[in-house]
A = this chain, B = another copy of it.
């Protein structure tokens, strides 16, 4: 049985508590809680006449726009290398299904990779992340993990990298990505590079990509859910290399897409074509959103550090991944011995919703949780616009109040 995705499940659970009148601090879900700017709404409005099925891969217009988008990021790309789908999640599923061999994942990593592999009956090889950043197997451990898997009769074939990362909110270094690609090449692995957070790097720098080091064997997946807060519009796309291998993988992904979801909704393809041409309004909106993500994620990180937890500084997106190991003794006295118990006590006693590290495949006994910070921007469109426009969003009453709620909870938890 495939379990309901942990991230989507906690979102629904918290929505229900809120609907019942409970005041819950929603740090459980990776939704970029921002409204739809009018220039994007207009792109959808003007596409309502499009009701034909169209090509599985997406319209020429949308594929051209995506190719241009990659070209402007230094990766020469033609429209024929692009496939759209209802969300990059669907494309990850298709890529994992299309590529031969077992799946190598960072531990912890986003909840759906392992679940997709399980659905496809594909074994998973888990490799711990390095101390410096998440989203990647520790390069120092990858080679031995491959050899051990082979010795056990396994056949590691796919290396999945999440750069920038969910759950840790960090960005792997260029050197680490290069080294992982070197090992991938040595062992004939394919690389899936999940770059859904690449437009949300807080510094504005570009994130490292496997496609810069092992372009010939890398499939990039991305979409508009995070950078433009369009999760509910389900716009994802992927790029395959322009070679025989890439052509074959794309054909197989098209086959899977055509038998499971057909295509991205036609009006959403029109939105993608517009947005990926990157008019100034889009660039500015993404910059402003990213600044807000950075400010709030860092403020939340500060709260965890203040009570003695460890936490990598967030570098992209809207997540942090605190670790209560330094205060384990205190928590254990309160009966908190696992990440599940940590998440449970935070939700039940303090009305703070986070996801346990175990949901990301992390050691169950590690006292880690993923904390998403993007639903603090407000519950109404008005509040969210105000957050986006504020000079100092931390002073807005709903954000300040949430931080206060979190602070009180954490102080009591570790007292």
Complex partner residue of A2 from B12, B259, B261, CB under 8 angstroms: B259
Inter-subunit contact B51/A252 (CB<8 Å): no
Report the bound CA distance from A1 to B256 in whole Å.
9
Complex partner residue of A45 from B48, B252, B263, B381, CB under 8 angstroms: B48
Inter-subunit contact A90/B260 (CB<8 Å): yes
Q: Which residue of B lies closest to A45 (CB)?
A: B45
Give the residues in chain B near A233, CB-CB below 8 Å. 51, 265-267
Complex partner residue of A4 from B1, B31, B251, CB under 8 angstroms: B251
Inter-subunit contact B29/A51 (CB<8 Å): no
A208 at interface, CB cutoff 8 A: no
A262 at interface, CB cutoff 8 A: yes
A229 at interface, CB cutoff 8 A: yes
Q: Which residue of B lies closest to A115 (CB)?
A: B259
Report the bound CA distance from A50 to B264 in whole Å.
17
Give the residues in chain B near A54, CB-CB below 8 Å. 232
Interface string of A20-51 (1 = CB under 8 A from B): 00000000010101011000010011001111
* Interface size classification for chain A: 35 or more
Report the bound CA distance from A267 to B263 in whole Å.
16
A52 at interface, CB cutoff 8 A: yes
Give the residues in chain B near A4, CB-CB below 8 Å. 56, 251, 254-255, 258
Shortest A166–chain B CB gap in Å is 14
Report the bound CA distance from A15 to B3 in whole Å.
40
Inter-subunit contact A56/B8 (CB<8 Å): yes
A119 at interface, CB cutoff 8 A: yes
Complex partner residue of A48 from B36, B55, B97, CB under 8 angstroms: B36
A93 at interface, CB cutoff 8 A: yes
Give the residues in chain B near A49, CB-CB below 8 Å. 35-36, 41, 381
Give the residues in chain B near A29, CB-CB below 8 Å. 53
Give the residues in chain B near A181, CB-CB below 8 Å. none
Report the bound CA distance from A52 to B233 in whole Å.
8
Inter-subunit contact B119/A256 (CB<8 Å): yes
Shortest A225–chain B CB gap in Å is 8
Give the residues in chain B near A8, CB-CB below 8 Å. 53, 55-56, 258, 262
Within 8 A of B (CB), among A179-229: 229
Q: Which of A50, A51, A52, A264 has the most CB of B within 10 A?
A: A51
Contact status of A119 and B90, CB under 8 A, knowing A31-B52, A44-B44: no
Contact status of A119 and B97, CB under 8 A, knowing A49-B41, A51-B229: yes
Binding site for B on A (CB under 8 A): 1-5, 8-9, 11-12, 15, 29, 31, 33, 35-36, 41, 44-45, 48-56, 86-87, 89-90, 93, 97, 112, 115-116, 119, 121, 229-234, 251-252, 254-256, 258-268, 381
